[in-house]
Amino acid sequence: MTTRQHNNTTTRQHFKKLTFFILFLGFCGNMLAQKNIVHLRYTVNVKADVRGILGSIQTEEPEYEEPKLDKPDAGTIFKTQIDKLGKSASQTYGEQIRDYYVGDSLIRLDRNTNKMSEDEFVLIAPSAKKKTTYYMSYDDKPTYSETQLVSGFVDSTLVFEVDTFLRDKKNILGYTCYKIEIIQGRKNADDELITEKKYEMYVTDDLPLSANVVTGMWQLPLEVCALEIKESTPDNPTTFIHTQASEIKKKQKNELLELPKKYKDAKKKSYF
């Protein structure tokens, strides 16, 4: 074999190796790109305190009477009934489960209650603040509806006060979270703040799901991920919605955000 033939053979071998290496890198890149979805599961429970719902009940001071041992104590009976009512109210709402699959520009939401159909498919576009719900209609036709998640009118009237407590920390599913409190209110005609709602959250900067998505309150002035949320009102702080992250999985397949084939030609549902 001549020196020139040997050099050509060596060059071809190097070219094949280089080509294989480039293809291998491309394959690895595609594999990594196909698994960049973050899955977060939340459980939502309503903690209902009926005494808080009813408010303080004013009663007249009873006149003194000699105790009757054979007569049940009315206060004990009332308290027992109220406790039962509170427990019943909590059980009525039941535990809700929300699964969020978070990508670069889309979020898929799976819920176990209030579904439009059993095969419902919900996509949220955070940048556009829009939610699209795909479902099978009552006549078994693929349908979708769109919801704009922010009202300009509402935005202009809401006021928020935000306090951050970096030293108040909690470990949730391996993430060190710090506390944020948000007071939501409105300004009245006298420019006084009327408090409507309070959010107490433990948040992390290390996950991509905004607390706005989980609360459904897109006007909240924060973009961090909340792994625990307590939502209450000033008039009834003992009754609240408690949302807690129960599972986090990274590197899930991108196909989780792909629209099912049955909904490719879905018809838009108009309510007007």
Range 228-241 average pLDDT:
89
**pLDDT confidence bin for 60, thresholds 50/70/90:** very low
On the question of pLDDT at 58 being above 80, the answer is no
Map tokens 């300004």 to a residue: 187
Buried b (16+ CB within 10 A) or exposed e, 123-144: bbebeeeebbbbbbeeeeebbb
- The pLDDT tens digits of the residues spanning 142-177 come to 999 998 887 655 555 788 889 999 999 999 999 999
- Would you say the pTM of this structure is higher than 0.85? no
- The pLDDT tens digits of the residues spanning 25-55 come to 554 555 445 889 999 999 999 987 655 544 4
Using alpha carbons, select from 184, 210, 202, 182 the residue that is nearest to residue 124: 210
pLDDT at residue number 241: 93
Reading across the β-sheet that carries 121-125, which strands appear in turn?
158-172, 175-187, 193-204, 225-233, 236-252, 37-47, 96-102, 107-111, 121-125, 130-136, 142-148, 267-268
CATH number given to 37-47+94-268: 2.50.20.10
On the question of pLDDT at 129 being above 50, the answer is yes
